Amino acid sequence: MLNAIDVEDTISFVAQHDSPMHYAAALSVLPKELLKEIWHSWGQSLYTLSNRFHASTDAVSVRFVQKTIEWYREAAFANRQTCWASLDTAQNHLMSHKDVFGAINNLLYDPHTVQDDMGFRYRDLPPGKLRADFPMCFDSVNNQTRWLERHMKRWTTTNSLGKSVYIELTEIRRLINAWGGPLARLLLDSFCISLGTVELSLPSKKYYWFVAGESQPKDSQRWTFDSLDEFDDGLSIPTGHQDTGYEDTGYEDMVDEDMNGSPEDFVGPFQESNDYSHRKWDLLETGTSTGNSIPRKLNWIPVHGSSRGGSKVAAEAQELARAGYEVEV
């Protein structure tokens, strides 16, 4: 059944393979130990996961689902090795993601790149999206938080006046995009796409809490970038390549190419008795005369550039396109 799923044509996929049994077939090839841990920590089985995804009303990219299923299929065929953080350290991981496949994709790490208990994601597996209405908190003992603290120093360089300034945001985004786990996705969602010369501006400190959504947790549950207060508003970030400190580690080449859990009750649009998919495929629209699939430009991701943006605009667009998004430059 898994081999029969069309991962190329969006119309055929939605018409023939948008069903819980096909999603269950895709999820069934995940490592057995991961599936057992999902059941033990989240109380979810192949049946509940596949039905949950099928009955979701959240908008999901067809290409994202197709590329994910294709990756699962090829990984199973090649007996590809993978690893994941203990689900006991993935608090509300499933609830904080927009869909099941995105949550699982953000669990998987490339075992050959794990360093200091933190791994990098597979660059050919599209990362999942986080929900905007669900708060996410990372305390100081979380391995992703510790990893961030250790690597933030590599986001700065010294300018001609001897002052510490950030490297370009595009370079920071490129480095973070290689990280595994949800924290990297949260940071990237928080960063604007910045090209060319960028002026540092320091908004209210509330924007630096690691919270995705409008609900604010208690102060004791938050963790913030205290060191950001040290930077001046008027400093200009020079364009061009900066020394990030990764050149001698092999990490630089890698990024160029391209949690705490417990059984939880789902609160939302999912209904066990729902036999039909009410999901909104956000890249699919049937033409009235030809029946062809027409991308809706309303849902495209604009990539804004400038005369100084140059090839970085194309690089940003290619990165988004590889993740399964339609990109308008």
pLDDT in tens, 23-59: 999 999 999 889 999 998 888 999 999 999 988 766 6
| Per-residue 3-state assignment (H helix, E strand, C coil) for 36-81 | HHHHHHHCCCHHHHHHHHHHCCCCECHHHHHHHHHHHHHHHHCCCC
Residue 314 to residue 197: CA distance in whole angstroms: 17
229 with 151: CB under 8 angstroms? Answer: no
The dihedral built from the CA positions of residue 58, 59, 62 and 66, taken in this order, carries a sign that is: negative
Q: Which long-range contacts (CB under 8 A, 24 or more apart) does 217-220 make?
A: 217/135, 217/137
Residue 155 to residue 170: CA distance in whole angstroms: 11
235 with 200: CB under 8 angstroms? Answer: yes
* Helix (H) / strand (E) containing 156: strand 156-158
Q: What share of the chain is helix, strand, coil (3-state, %, to 5)?
A: 40, 10, 50
Give the pLDDT score at 212.
35
Give the pLDDT score at 90.
67
321 secondary structure, DSSP code:
H
Residue 86 to residue 259: CA distance in whole angstroms: 8
Give the pLDDT score at 150.
80
Give the pLDDT score at 182.
86
Give the pLDDT score at 69.
94
Give the pLDDT score at 276.
34
Give the pLDDT score at 210.
34
Q: What is the distance in angstroms between the CA of the first residue and the CA of the last residue of the chain?
A: 38
Residue 1 to residue 154: CA distance in whole angstroms: 47
Nearest alpha-carbon partner for 269 in 104, 96, 53, 61: 53
108 with 121: CB under 8 angstroms? Answer: yes
Give the pLDDT score at 239.
32
Residue 138 to residue 86: CA distance in whole angstroms: 15
pLDDT beneath 50: ranges in the chain: 193-251, 253-299, 306-309, 329
Q: What angle do CA 201, 202, 208 make, to 5 degrees?
A: 130
Burial class (CB in 10 A: 0-12, 13-18, 19+), 56: buried
60 with 281: CB under 8 angstroms? Answer: yes
